[in-house]
C-alpha cells in the first residue's frame, strides 16, 4: 500500500474526464506509471537502496472497477548493479461499489498479486526463483458526519501462499488506515488517520516473517488551483519485527517517524502528475539507527 496515496491523488486530480464519462454512463479509464526510490543511510542491510517502477491501468463502469498493475522485482545494490530487471509482480484488483449516496459509501475489493524473486549467489550466479501469491479482501468506507467532517478508511486482509520459506513472508496479514477528515475551508483539509499493518501466521508453531506496525498518519492537503500540496507526517506508535527468525527468534523493536511532502498538479485535460519526497528517522533496538529517504514520481491520464 505504499503507493496508495500517490495513486489516489493522481486519479482524483485527473478526474474531470472521468466525471464527464460517468455522466454519459460510459466507461472511465486511467493509465499511468510510477517510479519510486528508497535509500537507507547508515549500516542497515538494505543501505544500497531499492527502486521500484510500476505501470497500471484502471477501468470502471457503473459500480464496478478493475485495476491492473505491473511492478518490477525487488531491491537494488547500486554498487554492483545486481538488481534484476524482471517485471514479474503483476496485480489485479476488482472492486464493487455496494453503497454510494450523500450520507455514506461502502465498497469491496478482491484481488491477487504475485511476488516474483530471482535469487543470486555472492558471485552473481543464479540461485533459483520463488513466486508467492497474495490474495486480498478489502472493504472501504466513507461516512459524512456533516458538511465539514467525515470518517473514512479501508481494511485489508491478505493471504500469502507458496514459497514462504524462501521469501520470508508470514502466511497472513492485515492492514488498515482509517480516521477523520476536517474541511477547514475551501483550501485546507486536515486528515488524521490510524494505521496498522500486522503480519502473522495461522499456524501457532510458525513465526517466520511476523511483524507489527502502528502509526498515526496526519495529512494537510492544500488546494491551490491546479496544484495540491500535501505535507504529511507518520508518527510511530509501536513497531516490531522478526524477519531474522531463522537466526534469532526474539523480536526487534523499532521507532520510526516520517515527514513528507506530496505535490500534485492537474493539467485539466485528463493528465496529472505527482512528486513526493519523505525523510524518516529510524531507531532500532539492534544495530545502528538509520536515516531513510523516499522519493517518487507519478503520471496519470484519465479518459
pLDDT tens, position by position, 148-178: 999 999 999 999 999 988 888 999 999 999 9
State the CATH number of the domain containing residue 91.
Answer: 2.40.160.40
d(CA 76, CA 73): 9
The closest alpha carbon to 282, from 255, 242, 251, 243, belongs to 255
Residue burial 3-17, b: 16+ Cβ < 10 Å; e: rest: bebbbebbbebbbeb
The reported pLDDT for the residue numbered 160 is 96
* Minimum mean pLDDT range among 70-74, 160-164, 244-248, 261-265: 244-248
Q: Within a 10 A sphere around the Cβ of 202, how many other Cβ atoms? A: 9
* Cell (9 digits) for 68: 491492473
Return all residues near 179 (Cβ < 8 A) that are at least 6 apart. 151, 152, 153, 191, 192, 193, 194, 217
> Radius of gyration of the chain from Cα atoms?
20
Percentage of the residues of the chain whose pLDDT score is greater than 70: 81
pTM of the model: 0.87
189, 224 contact by CB (below 8 A): no
- Distance, CA of 188 to chain centre: 24
Place of cell 534469532: 248
pLDDT tens, position by position, 175-228: 999 999 999 999 999 999 999 999 999 987 777 889 999 999 999 999 999 999
Phi, psi for 201 (deg, rounded to 5): -115, 140
111, 89 contact by CB (below 8 A): no
Structural domain containing residue 112: 4-302
> How many structural domains comprise the chain?
1
The reported pLDDT for the residue numbered 245 is 56
**Residue 125 class from Cβ within 10 Å (0-12 exposed, 13-18 middle, 19+ buried)?**
exposed
Amino acid at each position: 500500500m505504499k503507493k496508495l496515496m500517490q495513486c489516489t491523488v493522481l486519479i482524483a486530480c485527473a478526474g474531470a474526464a472521468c466525471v464527464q464519462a460517468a455522466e454519459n454512463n460510459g466507461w472511465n479509464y486511467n493509465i499511468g506509471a510510477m517510479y519510486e526510490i528508497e535509500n537507507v543511510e547508515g549500516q542497515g542491510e538494505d543501505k544500497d537502496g531499492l527502486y521500484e517502477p510500476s505501470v497500471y491501468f484502471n477501468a470502471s463502469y457503473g459500480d464496478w472497477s478493475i485495476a491492473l498493475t505491473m511492478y518490477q522485482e525487488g531491491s537494488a545494490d547500486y554498487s554492483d548493479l545486481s538488481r534484476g530487471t524482471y517485471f514479474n509482480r503483476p496485480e489485479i484488483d476488482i472492486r464493487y461499489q455496494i453503497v454510494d449516496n450523500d450520507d455514506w459509501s461502502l465498497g469491496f475489493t478482491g484481488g491477487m498479486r504475485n511476488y516474483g524473486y530471482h535469487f543470486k549467489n555472492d558471485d552473481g550466479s543464479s540461485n533459483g526463483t520463488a513466486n508467492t501469491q497474495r490474495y486480498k479482501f478489502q472493504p472501504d468506507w466513507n461516512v459524512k458526519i456533516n458538511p465539514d467532517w467525515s470518517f473514512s478508511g479501508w481494511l485489508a486482509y491478505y493471504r500469502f501462499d507458496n514459497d514462504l520459506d524462501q521469501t520470508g513472508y508470514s502466511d497472513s496479514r492485515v492492514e488498515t488506515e482509517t480516521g477523520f477528515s476536517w474541511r477547514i475551508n475551501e483550501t485546507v483539509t486536515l486528515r488524521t488517520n490510524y494505521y496498522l499493518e500486522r503480519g502473522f501466521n495461522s499456524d501457532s508453531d510458525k513465526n517466520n516473517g511476523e511483524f507489527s506496525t502502528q502509526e498515526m498518519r496526519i495529512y494537510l492537503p492544500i488546494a491551490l488551483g491546479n496544484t495540491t500540496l500535501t505535507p504529511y507526517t507518520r508518527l510511530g506508535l509501536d513497531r516490531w519485527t522478526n524477519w531474522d527468525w531463522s537466526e534469532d527468534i526474539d523480536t526487534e523493536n523499532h521507532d520510526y517517524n516520517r515527514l513528507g511532502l506530496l505535490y500534485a498538479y492537474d493539467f485539466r485535460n485528463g493528465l496529472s502528475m505527482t512528486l513526493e519526497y519523505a525523510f524518516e528517522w529510524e531507531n532500532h533496538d539492534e544495530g545502528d539507527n538509520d536515516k531513510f529517504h523516499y522519493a517518487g514520481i507519478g503520471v496519470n491520464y484519465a479518459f
